[in-house]
Amino acid sequence: MSNPTVAAQAISTVPATILGRQQPRIPTAGRIRAGIKVLTKAAASDPRIRALYDDGLAHQATFEQIEQKIAEQFPDVKTPLVPKNVAWFTVRPNDFPNPAVASQILDAYGEDRGDGVIRLYRFPVLFPADAWQSVMPHELACWTRNEKRYWSEYSADGQTRRCMMFAPATIDARSQRAVRTFGGRGTQPRPDNGGLCDPERCPEFQHRQCNLSGRFLFYIPGIRSLDAFELHTNSFYALSRAIERFEAIAFLRGGRIAGFLDRQGTTFYLTKKLREVSHLDQKTGQPVRNAHWIIELEAPVDVAALLDQRDDDATLRMADAAVQALQGGEPIMHDMLPDTMPQAHQPVNEAARDAAHSSRANQPAPVQAACTNESGTGVDAVYALAVSLGADRAELDTYLNRTWGEGWCRNAQGVKRVLAELTRMQGDPDGLRARIHAEPGAQH
């Protein structure tokens, strides 16, 4: 389900600090839940427990708080609450340090689907890192009521899955007190199984005490928060399908999944889909299919636009190479130019460089001063490349200001985009001149 080597290689490049060598963690503040928890049949049969549950819901308590209160007053009830699979996500004020965030999320993205209740069924998300292992951490974990008892962890080589636990406290021989540790509790491989995570031979896994646990870490557009939000799930199917989406988008975007997916501000979406899930019946060993609401990661993006965006990024790299050449650096390499570009237009280096010197010598001073305020010789490269393609300087100024805005030459990104456009037009100088002479609004 994963390639642990990626995480292991990432760790090896992280510099050591006094707190150790570890991957940077994405801080979180607030949790959206995958569903709800309801009383078990045994707990619901006691009206006193039902009253505690209803009171907790009325006061916006978290399910953990409700469960803890029931356990305190009815210690004989071992498992008062169980998860229930529903079509929506749960957003409760007490799951956020700032309770008002829950209302902000529901106001922005909540829906009433006919029952008079505003719920969260689908919402946009932005991921803060490009490695899916960072934005969707997951593990096999066995919990007691108060803490994590065992968990899976890959060794440094990324190949061996270890079964880990907290190391027992060291007792000082003189004081007979636990030795104070620096950096939190130590960990160690679990000794009774050789420290190897083997679910098929693990009694905790076979008795459903150890389970897959994962979470999505994300930001929500329009919801202001320095820290990310999290959504937990223990669904193998949800996590596996999300990996497929992550890897597909990363392939189309040159390895990136973070931020907006395209220039139109498209985002991933988290929603739920009712799907039939197959599992083995523990008594018969036969496959059984049941319908469950499964978390679905959607990416409603135009694939053609993503591929075109990758081409644009390649053009920007070509533009950078052009700037280098025009500034006297390494010449533009022919293999960086598009394969479809006519050979007659590829060796533009010498002509462009000569045009650059001529452009610097003949440009009117006011325009030169305005256009090199922030972007330096990048503007020279724009004019030099345009002149090498047969464009008239005065007409070019009018065209660029009309198309890109008069501030293009005072913004580094603006200069880069213009240069990329001209670089793209190297194979069609007549088309560039036609654009320059076109009426306002008839081009671009």
If asked whether residues 162 and 292 sit together in one domain, one would say yes
Higher pLDDT, 314 or 30: 30
Judged against a pLDDT cut of 60, whether residue 368 lies above it is answered with no
Identify the band that residue 309 occupies on the pLDDT scale cut at 50, 70 and 90: low
Domain count, the chain: 3
Two tokens at 87? 């079509």
In a domain, 220, yes or no: yes
- Name the domain boundary from 261, 285, 301: 301
Question: What is the structure's pLDDT at 196?
Answer: 92
Residues 295 and 314 in one domain: no
| pLDDT for 2 beyond 70 | no
**Nearest 5°: CA angle at 26, between 21 and 32?**
145
In a domain, 373, yes or no: yes
| Burial environment of residue 183 by CB neighbours within 10 A (0 to 12, 13 to 18, 19 or more) | exposed
Residues 69 and 168 in one domain: no
Is residue 27 one of the residues assigned to a domain?
Answer: yes
Whether 129 and 139 map to the same domain: the answer is: yes
- pLDDT-wise least confident of 147-151, 378-382, 399-403, 410-414: 410-414
Q: Are residues 130 and 148 in the same domain?
A: yes
- Indicate whether 234 and 350 sit together in one domain: no
444 is a domain residue:
no
How confident is the prediction for the chain on average, in pLDDT?
Answer: 78
In terms of domains, do 251 and 121 share one? yes
Choose the weakest-confidence range: 110-124, 226-240, 256-270, 348-362: 348-362
Domain with 70, as residue range(s), is: 36-82
Is the pLDDT at 218 greater than 60? The verdict is yes
> Is residue 333 assigned to a domain?
yes
DSSP 172: P
The answer to whether residue 213 is domain-embedded is yes
Residue 180: per-residue pLDDT? 85
Q: Quick one: average pLDDT of 398-412?
A: 78
Instruction: Give the integer Cα–Cα distance in Å for 314 and 422.
Output: 14
Cα-based distances in Å from 56 to 92, 116, 232: 12, 21, 21
Say yes or no: 106 and 210 in one domain. Answer: yes
Residues 288 and 336 grouped into a single domain: no
So what's the pLDDT on residue 360?
43
State whether 46 and 178 are in the same domain: no
pLDDT digits (tens, 9 = 90+) for 423-441: 777 777 887 888 888 755 4
Higher pLDDT residue, 87 or 264?
Answer: 87
User: Which among 243, 274, 301 is the end of a domain?
Assistant: 301
Among candidate residues 302, 313, 22, 268, the one with its CA nearest the CA of residue 156: 22
Contact in structure between 195 and 162 (CB atoms under 8 Å): yes
Question: What are the residues whose beta carbons fall under 8 Å from the beta carbon of 234, sequence distance 6 or more?
Answer: 211, 212, 213, 214
How confident is the model over 246-285, as pLDDT tens digits?
998 988 888 889 999 888 889 999 999 998 877 777 777 7
Alpha-carbon torsion 42, 44, 45, 48, what sign? positive
Q: 315-354 pLDDT, tens per residue?
A: 555 555 555 555 555 444 433 333 333 333 333 344 444 4
152 and 166 assigned to the same domain:
yes
Judge if 59 and 41 occupy the same domain: yes
Query: Domain for residue 443, yes or no?
Result: no
Domain presence at residue 69: yes
Half-sphere exposure of 140 (CA within 13 A, CB side): 22
